[in-house]
Amino acid sequence: MKTYDIIIVGAGPAGLTAAIYAGRANKSVLVLEKDTFGGQITSSPQVENIPGFISVTGAEFGEKLVEQAMNLDAEIECAEVLEIKDGDVKTVVTDDGEFYAKAVIIATGTKHRLLGLDKEEEFIGNGISFCAVCDGAFYEGKTVAVIGGGNSALQESILLSSLCKKVYVVQNLDYFTGEKKLADELVTKENVEIILGATVDKLLGEDELAGITINTANGKKDITVDGMFLAIGLLPQNEQFANLVKLNDYGYVDSAEDCITNVDGIFVAGDCRSKRIRQVATAAADGATAALAACDYIK
């Protein structure tokens, strides 16, 4: 029975950064990932807010992370983690058997809530985005729609209003659920049109998004847009750990900036952790912090 020093659950920027730091500390590392090596960033056609890169595709950045981790002898396996059992040696149960480690880092990230419409996943990266900080510059002088009415949607809309010719904000309720201060600021933007009590019914376009059909109290309406930003929430992927580590009310692992959980030898990094800023840079910072904390624990 091989026992790794550290098993990392998730191969996004947080998990792979943790693997890099653990590898540099001469620890044996196994990274388990059920979906895409590199994480959600790989679906971004162009990223311009990562230190060291003026511009890089998400796929290329993900590949470089994987390559760097493997160059430090990290093992990377495709498997879905179903459960972690506590003990002096942790047992990580997957759909491909059990693995063992002295410490575990949870870096499962989040997934964006989707509208559940035809072509939605096909248009991600081809007109559908989730991050105005990351992708807003690509729509400078163009028309976009922001879907949602919480703080994230309001912040995205305000940022996009400074870049885009026109911003439609579509909220399914008759009011915003975000902070009043943000809503008050948004309504002052002359190039922003707010549509309340409306839902997106259909996505228009062939190979890329060209418009949306919305349902309003007055019937259906087609809107031509160059892009759409979804801001209807994130779903942390921590359900399988709920009986082990403490989660907050929103399902994120409850941990401070030290990335330490309530269970000895279990650490957390990246977007699945309770935190305010969820960006590649902060995910990488978490990965380094969690890896070094795990190395200290092993000592």
Q: Would residue 131 show up in a list of annotated catalytic residues for this protein?
A: yes
For residue 126, pLDDT beyond 70 = yes
103 and 238 inside one domain: yes
Active site residue 272: no
- CA torsion sign for 117, 170, 129, 181 is negative
Reported as a pLDDT band with limits 50, 70 and 90, residue 190 is very high
Residue span of the structural domain in which 125 resides:
114-230
Among candidate residues 5, 88, 96, 135, the one labeled active-site is: 135
Q: Residue 287: pLDDT above 70?
A: yes
Q: Are 153 and 104 contained in the same domain?
A: no
Query: CA 240 to CA 124: how far, in whole Å?
Result: 27
Q: Is 78 a catalytic residue?
A: no
150 and 78 fall within a common domain: no
- Model pTM? 0.77
Do 119 and 206 belong to one domain? yes
Mean pLDDT of 54-77: 93
Beta-strand ranges (E) seen in the chain are 3-9, 29-33, 75-78, 81-85, 90-94, 97-106, 110-112, 128-129, 143-147, 166-171, 192-196, 199-204, 211-216, 219-224, 227-230, 234-236, 266-268
C-alpha torsion angle, residues 62, 64, 69, 75 (rounded to 10):
60
Q: Which residues neighbour 278 within 8 Å (Cβ) at sequence distance 6 or greater?
A: 110, 234, 271
The residue annotated as part of the active site, out of 5, 131, 271, 272, is 131
* Secondary structure of 49-67 in HEC code, one letter for each residue: CCCCCCCECHHHHHHHHHH
Q: How many domains does the chain have?
A: 2
Model pLDDT, residue 191 = 98
- The Cβ-side half-sphere exposure at 222, using a 13 Å CA radius, reads 7
Structure tokens, 270: 């990246």
In the block, tokens 């650490």 appear at 267
The mean pLDDT value for 261-287 works out to 95
Please tell me whether residues 217 and 82 are part of one structural domain: no
The answer to whether residues 90 and 135 belong to one domain is no
Spell out the residues 6+ positions from residue 52 whose beta carbon is closer than 8 angstroms to its own.
Answer: none
pLDDT reading at 149 higher than 80: yes
What secondary structure letter does DSSP report for 87? S
* Minimum mean pLDDT range among 166-170, 215-219, 276-280: 276-280
Tell me the C-alpha to C-alpha distance, in Å, between residue 197 and each of 123, 169, 175, 186, 218: 24, 11, 8, 17, 10
The residue type found at 205 is: G
DSSP 100-118: EEEEEEE---EEE-----T
Determine the pLDDT at residue 49: 82
Count of Cβ atoms closer than 10 Å to residue 118 Cβ: 10
Is it the case that residue 195 has pLDDT exceeding 70? yes
Mean pLDDT computed over every residue of the chain: 94
Provide the CATH number for the domain around residue 92.
Answer: 3.50.50.60
Same domain, 128 and 226: yes
Say whether both 119 and 216 belong to one domain: yes
Assigned token pair, 243: 């009986």
In this model, does residue 113 exceed pLDDT 70?
A: yes
Using one digit for the tens of pLDDT, what is the confidence trace for 202-234? 999 999 999 999 999 899 999 999 999 999 988
| Among 35, 95, 118, 134, the one annotated catalytic | 134
The domain boundary, picked from 174, 208, 230, lies at 230
Q: What's the pLDDT score for residue 45?
A: 67
Could you say which of 197, 230, 263 is where a domain stops?
230
